[in-house]
Structure 1
């Protein structure tokens, strides 16, 4: 009987430890999750707009986005969809079993548009108490047909942004040299150098760098359009309709 009671006690303690370690994170129906701890949620057309389980008592990082129809009283309204820029949220799940984004109460088209431009996010736990967190916008300059959110978050986490989390960064790609040694690949922002025949590095002028950057940007946009067309042709009829609806909402 004593042994049985000991096993029962151990089982209860183990279950209690697990239940505290895992926390459920959820967003309301006018939000969607894009990235959870460095991993993308959903796909290009359908994002996770429900909940996820966050393991361990530790700092968590979730990227969310406000998205709602401008016709707030009629979802079939043709005024399109209002979307905010992605918002990075960093918070600690220690001591919490549930954390949720509070649904904003927006009753007019003007309120929806205003909130989309500058979303005010609140987090609460299962008891309705406010949860401390850090917040920042995930901004990317220029026109973007598609965005690699996990990659953008990895780059952001190497910055000094208020919601940056150094624990979650993408691994640096490694390139093997002819001598068999490995070297880390340089990023696109690294200074370009031209090596002369004498082995000395020639300085690259700012004008030539700017020209190369513009050329690379145009090439990248062209490739993105081509890839988008190819992906669209492979979609089912249902996904094509979903994409067209999404594209109209971006206009």
Structure 2
């Protein structure tokens, strides 16, 4: 009876262990705007005021799309710098990965150097940076109403440097898509937003972060 109990406890412990480490956790700073993960809109954990956020990804090959947007106080004026849109592909299993972005001394330093920025994905399991294949999407800056999910799917179909395999894509519906790891994932594509009415602009503004709202208000003033 004692041996049976020991075996049962061991089996339960192994089961709990495999459950606890059955995926990949990606942690990133709030200066990173995570746009798309595996051709889907990401479900990010963390509140608006958190300095760091995270998302859970499946084991295996993953693709993430993000933009680095550090902000600075320059001559008593709030300013934000926008990097290019990064598409990155990596392979990981049962790990916590930390997205490490460059640090800039000032707004001018970031403005000059952000286009040639270097960044890393650091593995908590091995305490080393993992291999990442990264590329750029064509758009830069603050853009309203851009359908990043659809753009990334088109990027993958075109076979970009950091692409993952897509067997087929159906626009404006929920259909299964075969990913690079051979798993079927559900992709909800978004319709292009028609930014041409006051109500639409108001909706987009309210859905933005506090930092993006402030940057957008400054941009509006600069246009006057």
Is TM (by shorter chain) over 0.5? yes
Work out the CA distance in 2 between the residues paired with 1:19 and 1:119: 34
Residue 32 of structure 1: CA displacement?
A: 2.1
Residue 243 of structure 1: CA displacement?
A: 5.8
1:58-96 Cα offsets, whole Å, 9 max, x none, are 101111111011437x9xx425211112211111112x4
Largest Rg, 1 or 2: 1
SS state at 2:88 partner: strand
Work out the CA distance in 1 between the residues paired with 2:200 and 2:139: 23
Q: CA RMSD in A?
A: 3.6
CA shift in 2, pair 1:64/1:98, >3 Å: same
Number of residue-to-residue matches in the alignment: 195
SS state at 2:159 partner: coil
1:60 is matched with 62
1:231 is matched with 200
8 Å Cα contact 2:71/2:79 also seen in 1: yes
Residue 33 of structure 1: CA displacement?
A: 1.1
1:76-133 Cα offsets, whole Å, 9 max, x none, are x425211112211111112x41111113121122221134323312111114311101
| TM-score normalized by the length of structure 1 | 0.64
SS state at 1:101 partner: strand
| TM-score normalized by the length of structure 2 | 0.71
Following TM superposition, where does structure 1 have runs of at least 4 consecutive aligned residues deviating by more than 6 angstroms?
A: 235-242
CA shift in 2, pair 1:243/1:79, >3 Å: closer
CA shift in 2, pair 1:169/1:118, >3 Å: farther
- Unmatched 5+ stretches in structure 2: 174-191
What is the correspondence of 1:46-195 to structure 2 with a 5 Å cutoff? 50-55=53-58, 57-71=59-73, 77-94=76-93, 96-126=94-124, 127-140=126-139, 144-167=143-166, 170-172=169-171
In terms of fraction of residues, the more strand-rich structure is 2
2:185 is matched with none
